[in-house]
Structure 1
Amino acid sequence: ADEPLDFDPGTAWNYSNSGYILLGMIIEKVSGKKYADYLSENIFKPLGMHNSYYGDNSMIIKNRVSGYQQANDGFKNADYLSMTLPYSAGSIMSTVEDLSIWNTAVQENKLVNKTSLAAAFTDHKTLDGNLTNYGYGWQFMNIRGSSTIEHGGGINGFVTQAIYLPAENIFVAVFMNKEGPEANNVATKLAALAAGKPYIYKSIKLSEETIKEYVGVYENENGEQRIINIEDGQLVSNRSGGNKYNLMAFDFDKFYFVGSLSEITFKRNDKKEIIGHDFTGRQSPDGYWKKTDKEVPAPKKEITVDEKILKTYNGTYQLAPGFDLVITTEANKIFAQGTGQDKLELFAETETRFFLKVLDAQVEFNKDSTNTITALTLFQGGQVMEALKTK
């Protein structure tokens, strides 16, 4: 209550676990039951969801799956988390089969009436009229032109994604007992395949001269930049603060992002000059990106830093509660790994400032008056975030 607001109510939207915790408390207050009991008596048992439970670490459950997290040498068992912490913002154990039962019940108005469901499935707007792509507990996106109603979730060692295509009456659920983005990508590809719109491309070869036409700095109406350049003969795209992707042509002026589910279609004027591009992703349309006259930034120059200095940066730095950056060194190389993310190599620009090649981000290590490393600063997407060294 003492913290300042992130934004004035109605002016923006962010997902909030705290909001769902409040909803759980409201359920208990109105029903007079424990949240776990209410779920069991009013949803799981009546619908026949026999493999769904409120999370309980002590309960013996047949075929219970273990969760895993990435570690420096591969994987480790997921860190312990009491289900009393996520409470009604998570904490449900289930199966993809039970989630299919749940989705059918929702669509057939067995849980809420048509009026309430219509409100839940409404893409709500901020006060200035911008869509949030979110309703009451559901997210609205698209898969290759097909509208979707969906949601994902994640907790220590587990990630899930459920997608429903109402026009096609297709439901896909993917559960994964390892942290990472794969559940969303797999679910999306399966839904696209079932809808007859698979993410299958046949790459075509372009000449070196043709590839050069696409190089430039592109901007959208929000002032965000996308830099398209050539690296080692390959066309690459790097959005401000985002990952770097290789672009592969599959048609005239049409490219797909390798390792992503997005596409770019370049636009030409009457003189057949590239003037911009359209971007198609899960939240398309993402608007038009105009090609500017700005010069493509020169590649950052990499220097060598003594391994003894690199080792002084080793440690854990807290960017936010529950999210750390772990810095490690191996064979005169330095790496950063965010909680639940891949380990990425850093490259020295100066003795204390480093950059990433696969992501538009930089890291600066900070020293105190005794020349001891006490924190780092992360520069990404126009944001500047300090992380104190905790160990």
Structure 2
Amino acid sequence: GLPRHDWSWYLFPTDDRDSLLQRIKHHEPFTGVRKQWYYNNFMFLTQGVIAERLTDKSWEDNIRERFLEPLGMNRSNVTIEELEKSSNAAFGYEVKDDTVVTKMDYYHISGMSPAGSINSSVNEMSQWLITWINKGKYKDQEILPEAYVTEAMSSHMVVTSALPDDEFPDMHMANYGYGWFISSYRGHYRVEHGGNIDGFSANVAFFPSDSVGVVVLANQNGSPVPNLVRNTVADRMLKTEKTNWAKRFKERQEKAKKEAAEAKEESTSSKIANTRPSHVMPEYAGKYSNEGYGEFDITVENDSLFANFDLKKFYLKHYHYDIFEPFEVTEMGIDTTDTGTLRFNFVTNDGGDISFAKIKAEAALDPIEFKHTPTSIAVDKETLERYVGDYELAGTTIKVYIKNDDTLYLFVAGQPEYELMATAKHKFSFKAIEGFKVEFTESEDSSIDVMTLIQPNGTFKTTRK
């Protein structure tokens, strides 16, 4: 019942596979268990980690020893570090608006490697397909058990139950096996899978009943080429009716562009004019976290907000009210052509503070909440000592003291001690409790005599004993 949740690994990468697995329990499902198929890279990660536990070897070593070496895939590798050392390694590119071509950096997939980190070539991937077509054997050596091969390329879940369309009535069925899409291509049983990572697109397909395999690799991000070439080659090899797949794609693409342009002209923008953010820019700054994803920072540069992730940075442009649009910051500058529907919606709590940001990080779900922790500022011990003392509120003593030479704490009898985090001059937030703050007031002689407790249920003034 889980959707993809790809932002969880793509924008919050880590080499620690166990920590990635721990995120899954926090991922919200979109339907019940096994009620509907949905592709999910975390399931491939899980499979890889299970193999590590069973073999007491890393996923990378298992791939090398069990597949790359016996198949003679000598140039293929499983890490970006190995790829960068390879001779004649391809660079990846992206194309925008059919005209602007820019090089993309390799994406260091890190801990998510079991979901797709093998770097290979058409020649060497062909050896992998030969193994599948030969029911698990390569040059008379068993690489995969025949029973597994049969099971893996059989249907186990329905991807879509749609009927064939009128244009191609002989292309139907969309099911999923063990890491393979299963379909009927013009009456021929097809097993295939595609993939995409920054700058690269791929499709690997074979027709087990016809002993035909096709591998198409493209160094273009989100490219349609692998599927188009796969179909063109299949038509020739299977001697089926030939279709100009490139022409058909171009016509459909132009039609879609025209319809999108017409829809844009007819539609009215949801943007409400002449609105302003409810907070000054520094109050949006801080850390934002979600247990199923990770943590990112929002910082203020001049008068603008920026969202900083491990591998990417986004300029947050004000849309309306407390909603901002992200635009990626690249080596070329801020890419304002990359417009989409993604928004950062900052939500205020009852105390008037930014509580969390809602981001539609998963298309199948409602926006996901990232809890806000204000940016803390460093305060030296000498300054902290000015706040130390006992404060009285309706006969109750509230103690303020320093621990570890650099951290201020507050304690009330019968309650745990609360760590305070400096957010501005004389202002502190409770680190563990949202919406609770203290503000110290400086008297005319510069002494600290008053501490004000700001809580969701009210504001309470205390005086120093």
Interval containing the TM-score (normalised by the shorter chain): 0.5 to 0.7
Partner of 1:57: 81
Q: 1:258 corresponds to which letter in structure 2?
A: R
Aligned equivalent of 1:168? 210
Q: Is the 8 A contact 1:192 1:199 kept in 2?
A: no
Specify the alignment match of 2:189 in structure 1: 147
| 2:41 aligned residue (5, 17, 42) | 17
- Per-residue displacement from partner, 1:48-73 (whole Å, max 9, x unpaired)? 22221122415621111122345796
Q: Which residue of 1 aligns with 2:58?
A: 34
Gap regions ≥5 residues in structure 1: 204-247, 249-255, 261-295, 330-334, 347-361
Determine if the alignment matches structure 1 residue 95 to structure 2 residue 121. yes
Larger radius of gyration: 2
Provide the residue aligned with 1:281 in structure 2.
none
1:119 aligns with 2:163: no
**Structure 2: runs of 5 or more not aligned:** 1-21, 138-142, 163-172, 255-262, 277-303, 319-324, 330-334, 373-465
TM-score of the two chains, using structure 2 as the length reference: 0.46
* Aligned partner letter, 2:70: P
- Structure 2 counterpart of 1:199: 243
Identity of aligned residues (%): 20
* Cα distance in 2 between the residues matched to 1:3 and 1:303: 32
**Structure 1 counterpart of 2:267, from 289, 300, 304:** 300
| Residues 68, 158 of structure 1: 8 Å contact kept | yes
Q: For the residues of structure 1 that align with 2:336 and 2:152, how far apart are their CA atoms?
A: 35
Mapping of residues 309-348 of structure 1, within 5 Å: none
Q: Report the alpha carbon displacement of residue 20 of structure 1 after superposing the two structures with TM.
A: 1.6
Q: Tell me if structure 2 keeps the 8 A contact 1:120–1:136.
A: yes
Q: Distance in 2 between matches of 1:159 and 1:136?
A: 21
State the distance in 2 between where 1:26 and 1:198 align: 44
* 1:98-247 correspondence runs (5 A): 98-108=124-134, 109-110=136-137, 111-125=143-157, 133-194=175-236, 195=238, 196-200=240-244
SS at match of 1:190: helix
2-structure distance, mates of 1:74, 1:322:
21
**Cα distance change, pair 197–42 in 1 and its aligned pair in 2 (3 A):** same
Asked if structure 2 preserves the Cα contact closer than 8 Å seen for 1:173 and 1:187, the reply is no
Cα deviation, residue 345, structure 1? 6.5
Please state whether the residue corresponding to 2:35 is helix, strand or coil: coil
How far apart are 1:34 and its partner, in Å? 2.7
Contact 2:216 2:229 in 1 (8 A): yes
SS at match of 1:118: helix
- Count, aligned residues: 281
**Using the alignment, how far apart are the partners of 1:22 and 1:185 within structure 2?**
28
Structure 1 residues 289-318: Cα deviation after superposition (integer angstroms, max 9, x where no partner) = xxxxxxx9x943589999999xxxx98789
Residue 200 of structure 1 deviates from its aligned partner by 2.9
The residue aligned with 1:258 is: 252
Question: Against the structure 1 CA distance between its residues 327 and 64, is the aligned structure 2 distance closer, same or farther, given a 3 Å change threshold?
Answer: same
Task: Tell whether the 8 Å contact from 2:217 to 2:226 is kept in structure 1 after alignment.
Answer: no
SS in 1 for 2:32: coil
One-letter amino acid of the counterpart of residue 187, structure 1 = V
Provide Cα deviations, 1:216-263, integer angstroms capped at 9, x if missing partner: xxxxxxxxxxxxxxxxxxxxxxxxxxxxxxxx9xxxxxxx96249xxx
Q: Is the 8 A contact 1:99 1:173 kept in 2?
A: yes
1:3 partnered with 2:45? no
After TM superposition, the structure 1 stretch with the greater mean CA deviation from structure 2, 300-309 or 42-51, is 300-309
Structure 1 residues 176, 116: CA separation in 2 closer, same or farther (over 3 Å shift)?
same
Assess, with a 3 A threshold, how the Cα gap between structure 1 residues 70 and 368 changes in structure 2: closer, same or farther.
Answer: farther
CA distance in 1, matches of 2:185, 2:313: 33
State the secondary structure of the residue aligned to 1:86.
Answer: helix
* Whole-angstrom distance in 2 between the partners of 1:40 and 1:124: 28
Which residue in 1 is equivalent to 2:6?
none
- Counterpart Cα distance in 1 of 2:223 and 2:316: 22
Question: Which letter does structure 2 place at the counterpart of 1:122?
Answer: S
SS at match of 1:153: strand
Q: Per-residue CA shift, 1:27-81, capped at 9, x if unaligned? A: 2232333322222222212122222112241562111112234579641332542
Task: Give per-residue Cα distances to partners, 1:93-124, cap 9 Å, x unaligned.
Answer: 11111111111112212222222112111211
Alignment-mate amino acid for residue 88 of structure 1:
P
